[in-house]
Amino acid sequence: MELHGKSPLKLVVAIIPARYASTRLPGKLLLPIAGKPLLVHTVEQAHRSRLVDRVIVAADDERIVQAVEAAGFEAVMTSAEHPSGTDRVAEVAESLGHGTIVVNVQGDEPTISPKTIDAAISAMLADEYADIVTTCEKIGDPADVLSPDVVKTVVGIDGRALYFSRSPIPFPREAVRMHGSLSRALVMEPELLHSFRKHTGLYVYRREYLLKLCGTPQSKLELSEMLEQLRAMENGAKIKVVEVTETSIGVDTAEDLERVRLIAAAT
C-alpha cells in the first residue's frame, strides 16, 4: 500500500455510517437520486478522493447492505444500538490496522466534494499533533447564523478549533448593541457575515484516538449543545479545522432531497 506523503500511516479508510431510520425523512439513504440510492452517490464521491484507499459503509440494516453491495461497493453490518454515527464508525475501525487514518463521511451528503475529503486528509497527514481534522465553510446567509441547526465554529490563529456551538459565535457585541439585535446587525452590516464559519460534518481521525474517544463518557458540553465534537474538546483534543470552498448539501428534509435531485439532473 502506497504511503501518503511523509506520514508513517499507511492506510486511509473512509467509513460512512448509515442508519436506516430517519425522523424527518424516513429511509432517506435509500431514496433515489438520478436512478441510484442517495447513499450510493455519497459512496461514489468518497471513492473519487485521491487519498482514500478503501471505502466501507457501516450499516445498521440489511436493506442498506444490499443496496450498497448491489452497486458494487463494500458494506458491513454494525450494531443497531449505537448512540451515534461516530460509535458506528469506531466499531468498524476496531477491525482495521494500527495507524490507520479513518475518515468519517456522513452518508446523507451525496454532493460532498472529493477535494474536501482530500483537504481534510492532507491536513491530518501534515500535522502529527492533530487528534482530529474537520472542515468548515463560509456562511453566506444570515439565517444560517441565527439557526441552531447550523453549527458554528471559531478557530485560533494556529488553525485549531476554539469552540463549536449552535449559537452565533463569535458574538459581535458592539454591532448588536448598536442595532438592537443580531438579526438587525446582520442586515445593517452585511460584512459581519465574514466572521462566521459553518462547521461541516466531515471528520478525520487517527484510529487509536477515535477508539479512545468513543470509550469516554458523554460530557456536559456535548449534552448541552448536542455536539459530539465537544466531548473531544472537553477532554483536551487538538482539532484542526480546514476551511473549504466546495459546499455540500446534507439531506435532512424533502426540500433538501429535491435540491440534490435538481443538481444531479443538471450534471
Per-residue cell: 213 = 474517544
Burial 150-175 (b: 16+ CB within 10 A, else e): bbbbbbeeeebbebbbbebbeebeeb
Q: Is 105 domain-assigned?
A: yes
Given this model, what pLDDT does residue 1 score? Answer: 37
CATH number of the domain enclosing 240: 3.90.550.10
Question: In whole angstroms, what is the distance from residue 182 CA to residue 116 CA?
Answer: 31
Q: Is 157 domain-assigned?
A: no
Given this model, what pLDDT does residue 5 score? Answer: 40
Per-residue cell: 72 = 458494487
Are the CB atoms for 164 and 99 separated by under 8 Å? no
Question: In whole angstroms, what is the distance from residue 8 CA to residue 22 CA?
Answer: 39
Question: In whole angstroms, what is the distance from residue 46 CA to residue 17 CA?
Answer: 13
Q: Is 107 domain-assigned?
A: yes
- Give the predicted TM-score (pTM) of the model: 0.91
Measuring CA to CA, how many Å separate 218 from each of 86, 174, 211, 226? 12, 35, 14, 10
Given this model, what pLDDT does residue 116 score? Answer: 96
Peptide bond into 170 cis (omega under 30): yes
- The beta-strand segments (E) located in the chain are 12-18, 32-33, 36-37, 54-59, 74-77, 101-104, 132-138, 152-155, 161-165, 197-206, 239-243
Q: Is 150 domain-assigned?
A: no
Nearest CA to 107 out of 73, 58, 47 is that of 58
Question: In whole angstroms, what is the distance from residue 85 CA to residue 77 CA?
Answer: 13
Q: Per-residue pLDDT tens for 190-207?
A: 999 999 999 998 999 999
Sequence length of the chain is 267
Q: What is the number of domains present in the chain?
A: 1
Nearest CA to 167 out of 199, 137, 190, 136 is that of 199
Measuring CA to CA, how many Å separate 8 from each of 12, 26, 124, 205, 236? 11, 42, 12, 15, 24
- Look-up of cell digits 465553510: 137
- Look-up of cell digits 460532498: 112
Nearest CA to 102 out of 236, 32, 203 is that of 203
Given this model, what pLDDT does residue 51 score? Answer: 97
Given this model, what pLDDT does residue 23 score? Answer: 78
Instruction: Find the domain containing 51 and state its range.
Output: 12-137+199-221+229-261
- Residues 6 or more apart from 128 whose CB is under 8 A from it? 7
Measuring CA to CA, how many Å separate 80 from each of 43, 60, 62, 91, 166? 21, 5, 11, 11, 28
Q: Is 173 domain-assigned?
A: no
Per-residue cell: 104 = 468519517
Sites in the chain below the pLDDT cut of 70 = 1-10
Given this model, what pLDDT does residue 266 score? Answer: 85
Nearest CA to 265 out of 106, 26, 36, 47 is that of 36
Q: Is 146 domain-assigned?
A: no
